[in-house]
Amino acid sequence: MHAVVYHGPGRKSWEEVPKPSIQDDTDAVVKVDSVTICGTDLHILKGDVPAVTEGRILGHEAVGTVESVGSGVKNLSPGDRVLVSCITACGSCRFCREARYGQCLGGGGWILGHLVDGTQAEYVRVPFADTSTFAIPAGVTDEEVLMLADIGPTGYEVGVLNGHVRPGDVVAVVGAGPIGLSSIMGAKLFSPAHVVAIDLAESRLEAAKRVGADVVVNATHDDALEVVRGLTDGLGADVAIEAVGVPGTFEQCAALVRPGGTVANVGVHGKPATLHLEDLWIRDVTITTGLVDTYSTPTLLRLLASRQLDLGQLVTHRFGLGDFMQAYEVFANAADTQALKVVLSARS
């Protein structure tokens, strides 16, 4: 089969590799029907994630058809259409029983495409297949479901639920990339008074408006603090969601939030950010952060099926499964191409 293989910083290729097979009795082998590229894949390719070593097949988001299952797999059969989740987890250890799948102690807790081979391939071996795949309800498209492999649950769990968004809240979302946009859509499910999207790129702010942001702020020339204070009698946002991953935007979220509010950090930070405890403690500010666990995926699947959530609108570009080099080029140059999510499909 063919797969996208990482060959060290800046180097990858779509090349012939051995087709995966069942190694453990809890594995499934899934034929990849649709797959996408994540910002994290670009970080890996820059060499920012040293845990990913040469020879690794990239990718942690896919929709596919089960080809074979190990003898210990209870919930899946060949022919089933499934979402392959970004996190694989044993499902039975102390942390998995708390739905903290990302911290699995039972030999999982892996993000596919990091320490195990990933989904940017014609076939993928999914460890712990019972907890690492989700059955797809009728009436939803592969593209929509694909948005739940990572960005949907990330925005919803780490942004919206950790942030405790409630009806009537003013929610500031800093960063309107796929994760920030999915946080905006997730926040809208709770009937906030205003969602304010803050970014530096006009095209991303346009996308934020399309997915439901009530107010957009281009922080290159407008003052987000002034806008948020103007909407909140000078108090600040009830919830500030950080969806960029640089120190400045974390510190901005801490400044944007009202006394008693929550900063929900979603961004992956490569550098330390300053935590102004001398200010935050007396303002009763709660700070949350975390890795996506995908415990919300069944809820989000129901919301897709009932048309309460339209994550499919984030797909801007479509390719055939073999066109990874071109798709990476388009995705990595989002400023020019205005790409949000690119989908590669075996059927196109």
What is the binding site for ligand NAD (CB under 6 A)?
Answer: 39-40, 150, 154, 158, 174-180, 198-201, 204, 219, 243-245, 248-249, 266-268, 291-292
Q: Identify the three-state secondary structure at position 199.
A: strand
CB of 97 to Zn ion, least distance (A): 8
CB-based closest residue to ligand NAD: 177
Q: Which does 176 bind (CB under 5 to 8 A by kind): ligand NAD, Zn ion, none?
A: ligand NAD
Comparing CB distances to ligand NAD, the nearer of 136 and 243 is 243
Tokens of 224: 């987000």
Are 70 and 94 contacting, i.e. CB atoms less than 8 angstroms apart? no
CB of 120 to ligand NAD, least distance (A): 16
For 54, residues 6+ apart whose C-beta sits below 8 A from its C-beta are 6, 7, 8
Q: Which does 174 bind (CB under 5 to 8 A by kind): ligand NAD, Zn ion, none?
A: ligand NAD
Verify binding: residue 287, Zn ion, rule CB under 5 A.
no
From 30, 96, 184, 256, residue interacting with Zn ion (rule: CB under 5 A)? 96
Comparing CB distances to ligand NAD, the nearer of 11 and 46 is 46
Distance CA 222, CA 64 (A): 44
CB of 100 to ligand NAD, least distance (A): 12
Verify binding: residue 90, Zn ion, rule CB under 5 A.
yes
Strand partners, 5: 13, 57
From 29, 57, 69, 93, residue interacting with Zn ion (rule: CB under 5 A)? 93
Interface stretch with Zn ion, choices 40-48, 94-102, 293-301, 318-326 (CB under 5 A) = 94-102
For 180, residues 6+ apart whose C-beta sits below 8 A from its C-beta are 155, 173, 174, 197, 199, 204, 208, 241, 243, 244
The 10 Å Cβ neighbour count of residue 231 is 17
Backbone angles phi, psi at 303, to 5 degrees: -65, -35
Size of the site for Zn ion (CB under 5 A): 6
CB of 174 to ligand NAD, least distance (A): 5
Interior/surface letters 88-113, b for 16+ CB within 10 angstroms, e for the rest: bbbbebebbeeebbbbbebebbbbbb
**CA-to-CA dists, residue 141 to 97, 136, 190, 198, angstroms:** 30, 9, 25, 30
Comparing CB distances to Zn ion, the nearer of 93 and 241 is 93
Comparing CB distances to ligand NAD, the nearer of 174 and 300 is 174
CB of 108 to ligand NAD, least distance (A): 16
The site for Zn ion (CB under 5 A) is made up of 89-90, 93, 96, 104, 106
